[in-house]
Structure formats: C-alpha cells, structure tokens
Amino acid sequence: MSTTERNSHVYEPDGAQSDVAQQIRDISEVPAIEVITTAAVHLMSAAAVKLGLAAEENADELKDLDEARKLITALAGLVTAAAPEIGSQHAGPLRDGLRSLQLAFREESILPDAPGKGPGEKYTGPVN
C-alpha cells in the first residue's frame, strides 16, 4: 500500500470498488437518450415543486420562484442542446413540458418578465 493510499481520508467500505465498477458497467448499458430524458424529467419535476405545483398539502410552502427560474433555465438549455441528438420523438414532449413550466412561472410571478426574458427564454424564444 502506498503512502497516498494509507493517508487517504476517503472511507471505502469493503466491496466499494466492486460496487463502483458494477455501477459503471450498468450506466454503460443505458442509451444516451435515456440518460438525457431522465435528467430532463428530474429538472421538470424539481421545477414543478419549486413553482408550487406539487400535489402535497404544503405545496405553497415549497414554492421558490428563484430556484424554479434556475431549474427551468437549465432544462431549456438541456432540451435545446439535446433536441438534434435525441430526435423529435423524444424532444417534442420535453419541449411541451418545458413550455408548460415557463407559462406556469409567468402566471406565478407577481411582476412577470418581459417577453423573451423569462426563465429559459434565451434558449427557447419568447413563450406566450
């Protein structure tokens, strides 16, 4: 064992390296389209919660428009950049979900952004 390995402060339980190797093998089998769409769905879900659209009784307490803006902008960037790679079959529903979130953001805002200045609109264009 080298000095670097002995002085490492990273805790690795027995079998951790084999777990990592298994995870790498598992992710290598997942098509890129699935990884991209899964990431987009996670961003959509998080944005919906931050817009207060969660089904829970405390949905209003979870609302945070600043956080929603960031998530929607990240989603818009991902969808716009990935669309040519994933094709319209996958990009279309993602664009629809994105547009719905952008419109919901506009409705929730006390002072709506100017057209083209809302979350993600620098990537998608103005949303009406």
pLDDT tens column, 57-79: 888 889 999 999 999 999 999 99
Provide φ and ψ at 24, rounded to 5°. Answer: -65, -45
| 13: pLDDT strictly greater than 80 | no
Dist. CA 59–CA 44, nearest whole Å: 16
- Closest to 74 (Cα-Cα) out of 100, 93, 46, 53: 46
**CB-hemisphere CA count at 13 Å for 110?**
3
The residue type of 19 is D
Residue 44 near residue 13, CB atoms below 8 Å: no
Q: For the chain, what are the domain ranges?
A: 32-124
Say what the pLDDT of residue 7 is. 54
Instruction: Please count the other Cβ atoms lying within 10 Å of the Cβ belonging to residue 104.
Output: 17
Q: Whole-number mean pLDDT of the chain?
A: 88
pLDDT band of residue 54 (cuts 50, 70, 90) is confident
- Residue 51 to residue 101: CA distance in whole angstroms: 8
The mean per-residue pLDDT over the stretch 14-26 comes to: 74
- The pTM of the full predicted model, rounded to 2 decimals, is 0.80
